[in-house]
Chains A and B, each alone.
Chain A
């Protein structure tokens, strides 16, 4: 599949797509996050969004109490404050209710400044040859 077709499929997709930006608050492991939700190429508004986080290697045992997101200033934007237990990779779980019900799982690497997407599922190899 070439790039254009991939892009097209993303635009046409009826399942919601999400993008996340987080900034560290200064308090240990607490982040202010802004979530952009898109659906079918348009901002998804009026959704009821809850943000949780799991540790990828122990998803059932290490999870963070989810926070309700509030609508932001831009269309399709939602804001939430995340309180994690440590730095490193987290699987962010966005639960959507309202016009669309869904659960989106995104992988982000959290450091002392903020978060950047990690290619979800990449194994953290201790050793590199």
Chain B
């Protein structure tokens, strides 16, 4: 496998984490325009810990996830009672604030005689942990793949459990869910923290894959793309967001059939697809049909 294919596959994996975090909120009925912020929090936190303080990547990733969970929990606390566009706008406002804070973040330390660390709009260079530890691109893809498989396994497990039914119940009718004794706010807060951790995991892996991050990596484009991937892939199963990422990056971007026209083709396809399947390709009905077919 050549470097390019490895890069594309790794990007698909990285994007899947943030698409899954958008999906997690969508099935509970909340639309976030701000998942890019927690992806960014993970990227910056992980990068600072490995590049400036010499933490090993696994430990840094755990810390970054905890920080991402905390960040989204804190954003969710005052905004979870908002519905629809109000919630979306509140998350967008939070994410744009985060991006501007990244622009203001100067955290420079001298490492081996060189200044390293986040330098505002100049970005954060030299997150080189995987190079310093001799991890080959193929190995890194393996790491991303295994982590993604673990996350997907967790999703499948949760969706088949009572908690999964509760989440979908809240998404369909929060009043009804509350009336049968579900503490909707508490469940949603937990969900927000999980979504934040997931996005942060994607972010920390991205930062180390790319060695370089900068504030505008984490603007609204990333957030809305992840929302779009979750929706076109389908809201019926956690494999939906993965399918969405695969369709865009895996098929359209990498085959380069539509070199230079890709977004025109992709944009049109998405709009037309949503006319016929407003909850995506793998929506609840499709998932049910597949289950009946193959069980």
Contact = CB atoms under 8 A, between A and B. Distances in A.
B159 interface: no
Contacts, number: 87
What is the predominant secondary structure among interface residues of chain A facing chain B?
loop
A56 B214 contact: yes
B228 to A, nearest CB: 11
B126 A15 contact: yes
A50 B155 CA distance: 37
Given A60-B249, A66-B4, A103 B211 contact: yes
Interface string B1-40: 0011001000100110000000000000000000000000
Interface residues of A, number: 34
B260 A121 contact: no
Contacts of B11: 60-61, 63
Interface residues of B, number: 38
A57 B216 contact: yes
Nearest to B13: A60
Nearest to B111: A15
A54 B212 CA distance: 12
A123 B126 contact: no
A8 B238 CA distance: 52
B47 interface: no
A78 to B, nearest CB: 16
The 8 closest A-B pairs by CB, nearest first: A105-B212, A121-B214, A121-B123, A103-B211, A60-B11, A121-B121, A121-B122, A9-B113
Interface of B: 3-4, 7, 11, 14-15, 103, 112-115, 120-123, 125-126, 128, 131, 134, 206, 210-212, 214-217, 219, 221-222, 225, 248-249, 253, 256, 259-260
